[in-house]
Copies of this chain bind each other. A is one copy, B any other.
Amino acid sequence: MRPHLSISRRTRRTPFSSRVEAAGASGYTVYNHTLLATSFRGIEVDYWHLCENVQVWDVSCEKQVTLKGPDASRLAQYMTPRNLTDAQVGRCYYLPMCDENGAMMNDAVAIKVNDGHWRLSVADSDILLWAKGLAVGFDLDVEVREPDMYPLAVQGPKAVELMIRVFGEGIKELGFFAIAPFMYNGQRMKVARSGWSKQTGYEVFVNNPEIGTQLWDELFTKGQDLDVRAGCPNLIERIESGLLSFGNDMGHETTPFEIGLDKYVDLDADIDSLSLPALRKHTPTKQLMGLVLEYHRNLSNLDVFVGEKKVGDIRSQAYSPKYMRRLAFVMCDLAALDGATSVEVITDQGKATGHLTSLPFDFDALGLSACR
């Protein structure tokens, strides 16, 4: 089924929507109430291009939520079990955001602007409402807002070269997950070395729609010889890279331990985090794992079995043309699985056997090498 998407004011357009349309986006989703392209020339063609060249992505749907005021740092710490005590200005921090039961509310990237000002790039849930509810209820001196800001991503191995041409040599100084201000056409914009892929990439936090569209156009003018194209977060690349998606691979029924985010949970920290008391007592009963299937078959459904027993369900999946395997993220019931690593799925050509592994995929350890 390839259904049509009806667009209204509620499914917000962005300052770049006209450019995305002109570039021939062939599929969309709605993310944080905002349009997000899902493919241009087909996800496999887009995938190879992303892995080998450079793309410009409209990721305005990565809504920005700001916490401003004397209690901003306190509120940020409430919302995550990651220890933010030593968080530095000029760095991005990946944050599981959890409620008082330790359940995931969102996974965001946080930037500390200063002690009284944090900014969150949020996944697909209205974290604005959660943060506002906590701020009002706890009577915190903090203003929670969604500013008019439109992230634009430049992703792919040639992203560094293209960004240097537009923003200057200073771009080279930016380490992974660092963020710094750059000037473009007289407008100061923050640029982070980050993005929704594991290819090299940057995100520009556009705060002026008009200058933003000039920037979009200039990236294409200056990147012509680099074969720059409009793109979008790519399902194949996301799965290969083990990047999780809120709403797909996790939700309000998941804890950070169940999706491998243990290293972002500081169980021993003496911090005021809503979720830590519950997480300290939590023993996961399920676990997100990787699944590798040898055959290029389509799945008939998303159940995963050991013999006749259902042991898990597939949350995200794609065929990897690079490793010539179908790859999936599976939420496994640990008791039902009982340590098994060989599992079965139902494909359009009957049952097929697959291999469970930890995430992210370690292709070397799996004995898989890139075909190109």
Contact = CB atoms under 8 A, between A and B. Distances in A.
Interface of A: 1-11, 21, 25-31, 33, 38-39, 99-100, 105, 124-139, 146, 245-248, 252, 274, 315-316
Nearest to A21: B1
Contacts of A274: 136
A136 B136 contact: no
A248 B130 contact: no
Given A135-B137, A136-B134, A6 B39 contact: yes
A238 B21 CA distance: 28
Contacts of A6: 27-29, 38-39
A25 B6 CA distance: 12
Contacts of A130: 126, 129-130, 132-133
A20 to B, nearest CB: 10
B9 A29 contact: no
Contact of A247 (B7, B29, B33, B146): B33
A29 B126 CA distance: 18
Nearest to A99: B132
Closest 4 CB pairs of A and B: A137-B137, A133-B133, A10-B247, A5-B5
A315 B26 CA distance: 26
A126 to B, nearest CB: 4
Nearest to A35: B3
Contacts of A1: 7, 21
Given A6-B38, A125-B126, 13 more contacts: A1-B7, A3-B5, A4-B27, A5-B28, A6-B28, A8-B245, A10-B31, A10-B246, A33-B124, A99-B132, A126-B126, A129-B130, A133-B135
A127 B128 CA distance: 11
A4 B3 contact: yes
Given A9-B248, A125-B129, A3 B29 contact: no
Contacts of A2: 4
Contacts of A146: 252
A130 to B, nearest CB: 4
A28 B3 CA distance: 7
A182 to B, nearest CB: 30
Contacts of A134: 133, 136-137
